[in-house]
Amino acid sequence: MLSVEDYRAQVMTGVTALAPIEMPLIDAHGCVLATEVSAPWPLPSFDNSSMDGYAVVSADLAGASSEHPARLTVVDDVPAGFRATEVVVPGVAIRIMTGAPMPDGADAVVPVEKTDGGTDLVQVNEPVSLGANIRLAGEDVLLGDVVMYPGTYLTARQLSLLASVGKGSVLVHPKPRVVVISTGSELVEPGTELRRGLITDSNSYLLVAAAQEAGAVAFRLPPVIDDEDVFMSTLEDQLHFADLIITSGGVSMGAYDTVKAVLSRLGTVTFAKVAMNPGMPQGYGRIGPSATPIITLPGNPVSAYVSFETFVRPVIRTMQGHKDIYRPYVQAICEVELASPPAKRQFVRAKFGGADKATVTPVRGQGSHAVGGLSQADCFIVIPAGQAAVAAGATVDVIDLRNW
Ligand code: AMP
Ligand code: MG
């Protein structure tokens, strides 16, 4: 049996970030930036008003109060997107809206709330300090500043900045295209009639969703029966398209374990036993003319999910261009005593609890088929190989699954 680390190192060998492509900015959402971006203009790019109000010479309002308001002649009106055609001189104001360029001569903006709102003549009830309510050019970002580095994950916040510096498209690592194929003659589509002995294919939904949560664009195929020719032709159809193929089922010691039987013969796919529970039978390799990576997961749903988290998610994240590809261990207090077969690393499905979410409790239903238990879990308690038990109240390593 291989350790989790040794097997994972084999699976990760030769896996690299997908070659960068230029993408329309909106499609780059959720991708990893492959280039440095600098600002071709400062942000803001011109001095502008941060309030709806009046651009003034601040000295004009030195003694203004509601009893003795200052009175200014309004000579112009600038909405956002326009420039003033007049200048501000002592005794004069220009009505201005948020985001409009500061008129020449003005050194402050009085918010409309501090005035009577006049359009020809305005009364101002308060003084204003020099520079008030002006957003200065470059106060956020300077011309030529590097605003983003390669490796940046592009969320809504980053798209906002890229758009602001004029990037209509950007060079990113594309999201890997992942194809998920469930195998098993017992599988039917959810929503269709369940005859005795059949079950619904849940793994393809589990794995497509998990792949998407990991950052892939994932595609689901209808379940494939345990037939070598059907499986092979289904696989071949996907080879020209997929960056990664994930299969579920058919990799154990059963008589109809088609995936293992067919792929073993190719000589490019390795099957192994990994010292983990659940998820011992595993396989990975490359197939087809482009040596497309394939990872063959066990069919039991919980095994498939633990295996996905352990081996497939790091592959997807690497292809996507991430540097931090593993979920870190966090520590928590285990509320109950646990026994653990010491030959294997245990991934106990558990739930955070306590006021500060600092404790963990195993969910009910720890079988590798137990999708009910899995749906309750938001973490794995990880018990290392070699350890036979965990005492109640002990600190344990936990993989937090609450964030994608
Ligand atoms: P296998 O790895 O093919 O031997 O399957 C192990 C167990 O997982 C069996 O009980 C299968 O019925 C079940 N199983 C396999 N594939 C799926 C699937 N796609 N959805 C739900 N259960 C599955
Ligand atoms: Mg099967």
Cα of 256 vs centre of ligand 2, distance in Å, is 7
The ligand minimizing its distance to the Cα of 187 is: 1
Residue 254: is its pLDDT beyond 90?
no
C-alpha distances in angstroms, 354 versus 25, 61, 360, 361? 42, 58, 8, 10
Average pLDDT, the chain: 97
Name which residue sits closest to atom 14 of ligand 1, judged by CA.
Answer: 299
Cα of 301 vs centre of ligand 1, distance in Å, is 7
Ion ligand 2: residues, CB within 5 A, are 184, 249-250, 299
Pocket flag, ligand 1, residue 250 (CB < 6 Å): yes
C-alpha distances in angstroms, 154 versus 17, 42, 91, 255, 403? 16, 21, 49, 47, 16
**Helix 258-266 / helix 228-239 crossing angle, nearest 10 deg:** 60
Which residue in 298, 289, 208, 215 sits closest to 245, CA to CA?
Answer: 208
E strands, 258-321, are 269-273, 276-277, 281-287, 292-297
Name which residue sits closest to atom 16 of ligand 1, judged by CA.
Answer: 299
Question: Which pLDDT tens digit goes with each residue over 353-401?
Answer: 999 999 999 999 999 999 999 999 999 999 999 999 999 999 999 999 9
Pocket flag, ligand 1, residue 127 (CB < 6 Å): no
For 111, the 3-state DSSP assignment is strand
Question: Which pLDDT tens digit goes with each residue over 146-187?
Answer: 999 999 999 999 999 999 999 999 999 999 999 999 999 999
Question: Which pLDDT tens digit goes with each residue over 97-118?
Answer: 999 999 999 999 999 999 999 9
- Residue 223 pairs in a beta bridge with none
The ligand minimizing its distance to the Cα of 184 is: 2
C-alpha angle 301-344-314 in degrees, rounded to nearest 5: 60
Average pLDDT over residues 307-316: 98
Pocket flag, ligand 1, residue 222 (CB < 6 Å): no
Residue 143: is its pLDDT beyond 90?
yes
Average pLDDT over residues 40-55: 98
Local confidence band at 260 (pLDDT 50, 70, 90 cut-offs): very high
For 335, the 3-state DSSP assignment is coil
Residue 383 buriedness (CB in 10 A; 0-12 / 13-18 / 19+) = buried
Q: What is the DSSP letter of 189?
A: -
Cα of 28 vs centre of ligand 1, distance in Å, is 36
* 21-43+139-173 shares the fold of 4-18+175-320: no
Average pLDDT over residues 195-210: 97
Which class is 329-400 in CATH?
Answer: mainly beta
Pocket flag, ligand 1, residue 285 (CB < 6 Å): no
pLDDT of residue 264: 95
Pocket flag, ligand 1, residue 300 (CB < 6 Å): yes
Local confidence band at 29 (pLDDT 50, 70, 90 cut-offs): very high
**What is the architecture, at CATH level 2, of domain 48-135?**
Beta Complex (2.170)
- Write the CATH number of the domain with boundaries 21-43+139-173: 3.90.105.10
Tokens at 204, concatenated: 């393809």
Percent residues over pLDDT 90 in the chain: 98
- Is 304 in contact with 210 (CB distance < 8 Å)? no
CA-to-CA distance for 202 and 379, rounded, in angstroms?
A: 20
Q: Among the atoms of ligand 1, which is closest to the Cα of residue 257?
A: 3
pLDDT of residue 291: 96
- Is 396 in contact with 382 (CB distance < 8 Å)? yes
pLDDT of residue 97: 98
Local confidence band at 253 (pLDDT 50, 70, 90 cut-offs): confident
Cα of 220 vs centre of ligand 1, distance in Å, is 16
Which residue in 132, 121, 114 sits closest to 59, CA to CA?
Answer: 132
Local confidence band at 251 (pLDDT 50, 70, 90 cut-offs): very high
Cα of 227 vs centre of ligand 2, distance in Å, is 11
Cα of 203 vs centre of ligand 2, distance in Å, is 12
pLDDT of residue 384: 97
CA-to-CA distance for 295 and 310, rounded, in angstroms?
A: 12
Candidate CATH numbers 3.40.980.10, 3.40.50.880, 3.30.1360.120, 3.30.710.10; the one for domain 4-18+175-320? 3.40.980.10
Which residue in 262, 264, 271, 252 sits closest to 229, CA to CA?
Answer: 262
Sorted by where each begins, the domain ranges of the chain are 4-18+175-320, 21-43+139-173, 48-135, 329-400
